[in-house]
Copies of this chain bind each other. A is one copy, B any other.
Amino acid sequence: MRRPLAELAALVAGRIEGDASVAISGVNALEQAQPGQLSFYGNPRYKEALAKTRASAVLVGKDVPARAGVAWVRVDNPHLAFARISSVYHPAPTYAPGIAAQASVHPEASVHPSATVMPFATVDKGAKVGARSVLYPSAYVGESASVGDDCVLYSAVTVAARCQVGDRVILHSSCVVGADGFGFAFDFEKPEHVKIPQAGIARVEDDVELGACACVDRATTGETVIGKGSKIDNLVQIAHNVTIGPYSIVCAQVGISGSAEIGTGVVLAGQVGVVGHIRVGDMAKIGAQSGVAQNVPDGAMMSGYPAMPHANWLKASVVAPKLGELLKEVRALRRRLDELEKKGQGA
């Protein structure tokens, strides 16, 4: 599947500097790209890789000087353009519609005739699966749950009873939508942790992607919501009554506690923790492993444990490895001061 560079550039409104007729056979990262492939340069970190790449064409921004023997395709956002062109070479797979003989679809469930239900997938009573959606083996759509159109539920995914999944949602293997929220009240007299019924649902809006083993709990009452176009990575924990997004990015192993509100276009880096009942404002960015215990204003960049403005964190990070020295220094200063004061009194 070779395509002329000019055709690809047109797809992304790019301006070619170099040979527009070169045939492109695929896409790759700068370092791995072979002649005949197209790559992209979006981060000065890869300046050297750009200088050495064997790619025949590279998507670049406005201000990258030309290089002989490689065609530049100038675009506003090289990363985005790369995503679009890569999709040309890697179209989504197609699936034969139909329900496998070894699948289990309840007589009162509704599966669109264009959907694909693989062996050992289950669609329970009253559940719905929309057009062209695909259930891999052992996927489970619970009682009265619904999955929209053009979704993919990979192997061993769970969408529990009554939960709602929108259109074009991708649920990776073993992710769990709608397990019970974690709510108990302690009865000292028995003793016993009494379970608080988790009677709400989880709702996953259109264009969301949930990673492998990601968990989105159902609400105590009402809804836990993953807003439109948000992307959630592997092993993320989203507790009951949380709302996220739209268009937020939650990286791997983040944990968000109950009733927290994560705004629009937020980025939570890996392993961040967010306590319950707070709000992380729109467009906020939280650094990896941070512990967010208070409201975060819109647009803020926070890092650290506990989370602090990112600038403070950068300085604190430099001091942290010197804390031992700092303590010694302060003690030395005290001794010198004691000495000076003694002298002063003696004088």
List chain A positions with a Cβ less than 8 A from chain B.
27-29, 32, 45, 77, 79-80, 82-84, 86-87, 89-90, 93, 100, 102, 104, 118-120, 122, 136-138, 140, 142, 154-156, 158, 160-161, 170, 172-174, 176, 179-180, 182-187, 191-197, 199, 207, 209, 211-213, 215, 217, 220-222, 229, 231, 233-235, 237, 239, 247, 249, 251-253, 255, 257, 265, 270-271, 273, 275, 277, 288-289, 291, 293, 304-306, 308-309, 312-313, 315-327, 329-330, 333-334, 336-337, 340-341, 343-344
Contacts and interface: CB of A to CB of B under 8 A. Distances in A.
A306 B320 CA distance: 8
A45 to B, nearest CB: 7
A316 B309 contact: no
Contacts of A271: 255, 271, 273, 291
A194 B154 contact: no
A340 B305 CA distance: 38
Nearest to A78: B185
Contacts of A82: 185, 196
Contact of A83 (B32, B122, B195, B222): B195
Contacts of A233: 182, 237
A237 B237 contact: no
A273 B289 contact: yes
Contacts of A231: 182, 184, 193
Given A215-B235, A309-B321, A321-B304, A253 B252 contact: no
A49 B290 CA distance: 29
A186 B80 contact: yes
A329 to B, nearest CB: 6
Given A119-B104, A187-B80, A321-B316, A192 B179 contact: no
Given A179-B173, A215-B212, A32 B221 contact: yes
A235 B213 contact: yes
B275 A288 contact: yes
A220 B29 contact: yes
A84 B194 contact: yes
Closest 7 CB pairs of A and B: A315-B324, A90-B197, A308-B321, A179-B212, A80-B185, A104-B119, A316-B323
Contacts of A29: 220-222
A258 to B, nearest CB: 10
A173 to B, nearest CB: 4
Given A179-B211, A193-B249, A305-B305, 18 more contacts: A29-B220, A79-B185, A83-B197, A93-B161, A100-B104, A119-B120, A119-B122, A137-B140, A154-B160, A170-B180, A176-B212, A212-B215, A212-B217, A215-B235, A235-B255, A275-B288, A312-B323, A340-B341
A54 to B, nearest CB: 14
A288 to B, nearest CB: 6
A186 B230 CA distance: 11
Contacts of A179: 154, 172-173, 211-212, 234
A83 B196 contact: yes
